[in-house]
Amino acid sequence: MAGEWTPTTPDDHFLISDIPGSDRDIKNNTATVIEKEHRELGDGNSGGEHLQGSAMAYVLATASAPTEDPAGTSFVEADIGRLWFDTTENNMKVLTEVDPDVWVTPLNDNSEFSDGGTPTKVDSDAAAMARNVIYKVSTSGFVTAWNNVNRTNTVQGLIGAANPPTFEIAENDTDVAASQSNFVSFFVPKDYYFEVTSSENMTINWVPFTTGGGAPVNQTP
C-alpha cells in the first residue's frame, strides 16, 4: 500500500497484475524518505543532493573521537572532509587524514579569534625576543619588529610549519631617514615557527589571537 514501508510484502502469492502498482509504491515511498533531506529525485538519476543543513556532523567527546562512518566501516580516503564537533574542546574538527585518522581544528574557529591575547616582548623563558632566533607559537597571532639603529640593514620575517622556518613572509630593506625605523609585521599560524632576521638588534613584539595563548618558545640552542 502506498505510504507504507513493509519489507515483508509482497508475499509469494503476489498477483502479476499487481506488480506495476507495487513498483510505483516502492518508488514513491523511497522518494518520500529520501526527499526529507535531499533534493527531489528526477529522471536520469538527477536530484538527491543534500539540502542545506541536512548533513549531520558527529557530536562526541574527545575521548570518543569518531573512527567509523555511520554504517560502521572504518574511515577510508573518501571520508576525508567529514566533520566532528568535539564537545570536550567545543571546537569543530575536520577529518584530513586516515589510517591513522587525523582531525584538525580549522584556523578560523571561534576560540582562535575570541578575545585576543596580551602583547609580549619576551619568550616563554621571560627573555627578550631577539633577532636571528627561531620561536614556536601555540596560537595564531602577529609579530611586529623594528629597529632604531643602522637603518640601512635588511629585516626579514620567516615562518614555517617545520624548524627552521624558510618562507619569507615579510621584508623591509628601505634606507629610511634617521628619525624612522625599519619595520616588519606578519601573521604566524598556530603551531608554526617564526624568525626575524637582521644584522642589527631588533625590538620584537608578539600579539596572540587567543587570551592566555602563551609566549613564543625559543627553539634556538
Looking at 54-63, 77-86, 144-153, which range is the least confident one? 144-153
pLDDT for 204: 94
Question: How many C-beta atoms lie closer than 10 Å to residue 82's C-beta?
Answer: 20
- The more confidently predicted of residues 61 and 150 is 61
DSSP tag of 114 = S
pLDDT at residue 113, as a whole number: 44
The per-residue pLDDT for 7 is 64
110, pLDDT greater than 60: no
Parse the chain into domains and list their residue ranges.
Answer: 1-51, 58-106, 115-218
Beta carbons of 191 and 138 less than 8 angstroms apart: yes
- Place 180 in a pLDDT band, splitting at 50, 70 and 90: low
Cβ atoms of 47 and 39 closer than 8 Å? yes
Q: Is the CB of residue 88 less than 8 Å from the CB of residue 62?
A: yes
89: Cα separation from own chain's centroid: 14
Residue 171 or residue 125, greater confidence: 125
Provide the pairing of β-strand 193-197 with 182-188.
unpaired
47 φ, ψ to 5°?
80, -175
Q: How many CB atoms lie within 10 A of CB 172?
A: 20
- What was the pLDDT predicted at 158? 94
Under the banding of pLDDT at 50, 70 and 90, the label for residue 206 is very high
Q: What is the pLDDT of residue 111?
A: 46
> Residue 159: what pLDDT?
93
Strand stretches in 74-119, DSSP E = 83-86, 91-97, 102-104
Q: What is the pLDDT of residues 22-34, one digit of tens each?
A: 778 777 777 777 7
pLDDT of 205 higher than 80? yes
CA distance 6 to 4: 6
Residue 177 scores a pLDDT above 80: no
Q: Say if CB 111 and CB 90 are below 8 A apart.
A: yes
Q: What angle do CA 81, 86, 87 make, to 5 degrees?
A: 150
Mean pLDDT for all residues in the chain: 80
pLDDT at 146 over 80: yes
Give domain 115-218's CATH number out of 1.10.540, 2.40.170, 3.40.1710, 2.60.120: 2.60.120
pLDDT of 12 over the 80 cut? no
Report the pLDDT value the prediction gives residue 1, as an integer from 0 to 100: 43
What predicted TM-score, i.e. pTM, was given to this entire model? 0.49
What's residue 114's pLDDT?
Answer: 47
For the four alpha carbons of 117, 89, 110 and 191, in that order, the dihedral sign comes to: positive
For 37, list phi and psi in degrees, rounded to 5.
Answer: -135, 15
Per-residue confidence (pLDDT) for residue 54, from 0 to 100: 65
pLDDT of 193 over the 90 cut: yes
